């Protein structure tokens, strides 16, 4: 029943072995009997097994590269945080709509960084620049970090690092329920632990390879009991047939199963479904039978930076989506904070 992620193949960059975590991971995977290969650079991981592109893509999603993060310039992460903190890239999930398919284009494998000290040092600089403002770091921009952290514990270390700061905050979002090792982390209330939820229709049709709804809620309860500030991201909000009932049911189930104490410091983030032309092309190739609707004529084009515009719902449909979901939140979780709709 949805076992925690285990790579089929592991690549280790030689430089990663200069770091304790790199050596630790090598030993760990050796003991587990997982095939390990050396690689000189992550861009050279071209020889992922598979007879065709589709197979290679699938195999890449069960390949883990243990590497060193060289670029220490952090990306921006509006609207959820000031910066993206780079701990890993890629994900073993197979969500049809996932933006990593385009943003990680040629690198669909999972890559984890072992030079945490460098990353924390950089994060400290960014925090210091902004004092007395709070600086938020998003750890889930380029991967589902919780889904791989049982192997690396780098998220756990980051939670504890941020826990010791005065002006730093950490946040991440996950569709996995393998959170047990994070429950005793000294988070000091500085980390917001979020789960991504959706209607049954969206989970069933578009989110293969992720934890079931009930497991996510159960994990959310544990996280709240461990005194983490809790949040839910409802994304992508998607107008499938019967979506009003579908999302209503989500809130009913959530209200029923979430322990009361989890609702004291609760946030919601709302993200409507969007796609780019490039995403559409890739999705149709990788998930040819998907039911995901990506008809440009039904959408509004929203111009973006560097010509990277995207298709979102037309204004009336987006407004209706926002209004209905917000009304559900007000009804079921009146004390929760809605951080944004985008
Ligand atoms: O469907 C994906 C959309 O969701 C993206 O436009 C980002 C957005 N998003 C994702 C968000 O609004 N809130 C989040 O918490 C995210 C899970 C994390 C995030 C990612 C973010 O908040 N801000 C970002 O700029 N990103 C980046 O968006 C990561 C990636 O490089 C890019 C994809 O458009
Ligand atoms: Fe993408 Fe998140 Fe699904 Fe992973 S779990 S495939 S990161 S949407």
Answer yes or no: is the C-beta of 90 below 6 A from any ligand 2 atom: no
Show the low-confidence residues of the chain (pLDDT under 50): none
Answer yes or no: is the C-beta of 88 below 6 A from any ligand 2 atom: no
Per-residue confidence (pLDDT) for residue 40, from 0 to 100:
74
Per-residue confidence (pLDDT) for residue 1, from 0 to 100:
65
The burial class, CB within 10 Å (0-12 / 13-18 / 19+), for 338 is: middle
Per-residue confidence (pLDDT) for residue 179, from 0 to 100:
98
How confident is the model over 271-283, as pLDDT tens digits?
999 999 999 999 9
Tell me the C-alpha distance between 16 and 23, whole Å: 7
Q: Containing domain of residue 312, as a range?
A: 9-341
| Residue 4 belongs to some domain of the structure | no
Per-residue confidence (pLDDT) for residue 220, from 0 to 100:
97
| Residue 32 belongs to some domain of the structure | yes
**Does the model's pTM come out above 0.75?**
yes
| Residue 2 belongs to some domain of the structure | no
Tell me the CA distances in angstroms from 162 to 77, 157, 181, 186, 283, one per residue in order: 17, 9, 17, 9, 36
Per-residue confidence (pLDDT) for residue 266, from 0 to 100:
98
Per-residue confidence (pLDDT) for residue 3, from 0 to 100:
95
Answer yes or no: is the C-beta of 145 below 6 A from any ligand 2 atom: no
| Residue 165 belongs to some domain of the structure | yes
Report the separation in Å between the CA atom of 307 and the middle of ligand 1, taken as the mean of its atom positions: 17
How confident is the model over 187-236, as pLDDT tens digits?
999 999 999 999 999 999 999 999 999 999 999 999 999 999 999 999 99
| Residue 1 belongs to some domain of the structure | no
Which of 140, 192, 235, 238 to mutate to test ligand 1, by most ligand atoms within 8 A of the CB atom? Answer: 235
Upper half-sphere CA count for residue 119 (Cβ side, 13 Å): 26
Q: Which ligand is nearest to the CA of 89?
A: 2
| Residue 59 belongs to some domain of the structure | yes
Number of domains in the chain: 1
Nearest CA to ligand 2 atom 3: 95
Per-residue confidence (pLDDT) for residue 42, from 0 to 100:
58
Nearest CA to ligand 2 atom 1: 98
Which CATH number is 120's domain given?
3.80.30.30
Per-residue confidence (pLDDT) for residue 101, from 0 to 100:
93
| Residue 195 belongs to some domain of the structure | yes
Answer yes or no: is the C-beta of 80 below 6 A from any ligand 1 atom: yes
Tell me the C-alpha distance between 21 and 15, whole Å: 11
Q: Which ligand is nearest to the CA of 102?
A: 1
Per-residue confidence (pLDDT) for residue 43, from 0 to 100:
60
Per-residue confidence (pLDDT) for residue 47, from 0 to 100:
77
């Amino acid at each position: 029943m949805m076992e925690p992620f285990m790579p089929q193949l592991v690549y280790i960059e030689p430089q990663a072995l200069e770091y304790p975590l790199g050596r630790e991971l090598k030993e760990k995977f050796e003991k587990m009997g997982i095939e390990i290969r050396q690689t000189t650079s992550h861009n050279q991981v071209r020889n992922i097994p598979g007879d065709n592109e589709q197979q290679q893509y699938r195999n890449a999603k069960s390949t883990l590269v243990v590497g060193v993060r060289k670029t220490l310039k952090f990306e921006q992460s509006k609207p959820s945080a000031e910066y993206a903190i780079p701990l890993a890239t890629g994900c073993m999930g197979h969500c049809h709509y996932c933006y990593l398919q385009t943003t990680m284009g040629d690198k669909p494998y999972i890559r984890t960084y072992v030079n945490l000290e460098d990353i924390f040092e950089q994060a400290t600089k960014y925090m210091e620049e902004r004092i007395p403002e709070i600086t938020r770091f998003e750890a889930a921009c380029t991967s589902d970090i919780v889904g791989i952290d049982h192997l690396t514990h780098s998220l756990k270390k980051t939670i504890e690092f941020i826990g010791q700061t005065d002006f730093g905050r950490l946040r991440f979002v996950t569709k996995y329920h393998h959170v047990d090792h994070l429950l005793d982390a000294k988070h000091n209330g500085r980390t917001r632990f979020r789960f991504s939820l959706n209607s049954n229709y969206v989970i069933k049709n578009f989110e293969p390879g992720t934890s079931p709804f009930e497991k996510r809620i159960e994990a959310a309860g544990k996280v709240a009991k461990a005194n983490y500030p809790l949040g839910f991201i409802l994304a992508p909000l998607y107008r499938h047939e019967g979506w009003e009932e579908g999302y209503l049911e989500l809130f009913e189930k959530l209200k029923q199963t979430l322990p009361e104490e989890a609702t004291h410091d609760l946030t919601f983030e709302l993200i409507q479904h969007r796609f780019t032309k490039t995403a559409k092309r890739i999705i149709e190739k990788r998930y040819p039978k998907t039911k995901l609707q990506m008809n440009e004529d039904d959408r509004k084009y929203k111009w973006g930076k560097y010509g990277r515009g995207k298709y979102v719902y037309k204004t009336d449909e987006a407004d209706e989506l926002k209004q209905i979901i917000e009304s559900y939140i007000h009804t079921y979780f009146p004390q929760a904070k809605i951080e944004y709709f985008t």
